[in-house]
Amino acid sequence: MSNLHQFPTTSSAAAAPPGLPLPFDPAMAPALRNRMLREALPEPLQRLLDRGQVGRHSRFTEDGFADVVEDWTPPDGVTPRHAALARHALSEIADTILAPASANHLLGRVLALLSHFPAKATSPEVEQLLAMDWADDLGEFPAWAIDQAARRWRRTRKWRPSIAEIRGLCEEACAEENALAARLRAIAMAGERAGETGSTTGAVRPVLASAMRRMR
């Protein structure tokens, strides 16, 4: 995949979104990152997050058991004001922390990773198709999650990665942030529904927040 673009190497701290209103350092442990993000949210949102109902159930696919997933339901009393706060926080998280990596960064990181595991040469046409596949299948992830996945693979594996394997590591890297975003989205939906019906109930369909355990 020699036709992919290189990109300048940056440290983990430099990979953090610049000028982020919410505190975030991808080099921190996931649990600590999540705690700092929650503590930076408006207090009304923090209280709702603490009072939500958590349930867990097994998820199955056509191949059998896949993982255990978490369902989170907002508490009663969610208002349109809560919805506005949640939407604002969601916008900040989506536009900064979870913003998809640029194509150059993504393909550059993939090229660097695959260069550690040489494979037989392919034609330029096939290389271009391979690059498009990687860009398509990893394009939803932020740069810091892709960087973490590549670093983890380099340090723990001795063979060339597949797209599915790197996707799994990317999903794991930003699982805490996606789970928080899913809960904020559930709060926003509950508050908006309360505004439409004139009630203050938080009863909405539970939101699939994150996989708690995966088959390995």
pLDDT in tens, 44-85: 999 999 999 988 888 788 888 877 777 899 999 999 999 999
Considering the domain boundaries, does residue 12 fall inside one? no
Residue 212: the pLDDT is: 34
Residue 204: the pLDDT is: 43
Distances (CA, A) of 133 to 128, 130, 157: 9, 5, 22
Domain count, the chain: 1
Residue 201: the pLDDT is: 47
Considering the domain boundaries, does residue 172 fall inside one? yes
What are the φ and ψ backbone dihedral angles of 59, each rounded to 5 degrees?
-115, 135
Residue 12: the pLDDT is: 39
In this prediction, the residues of the chain whose per-residue pLDDT falls under 70 are 1-21, 198-216
Considering the domain boundaries, does residue 206 fall inside one? no
* Structural domain boundaries, residue 88: 30-194
Considering the domain boundaries, does residue 212 fall inside one? no
Residue 64: the pLDDT is: 84
Residue 58: the pLDDT is: 84
Considering the domain boundaries, does residue 42 fall inside one? yes
Considering the domain boundaries, does residue 93 fall inside one? yes
The arrangement of strands across the sheet holding 64-73 comes to: 53-61, 64-73, 207-214
Considering the domain boundaries, does residue 133 fall inside one? yes
Considering the domain boundaries, does residue 201 fall inside one? no
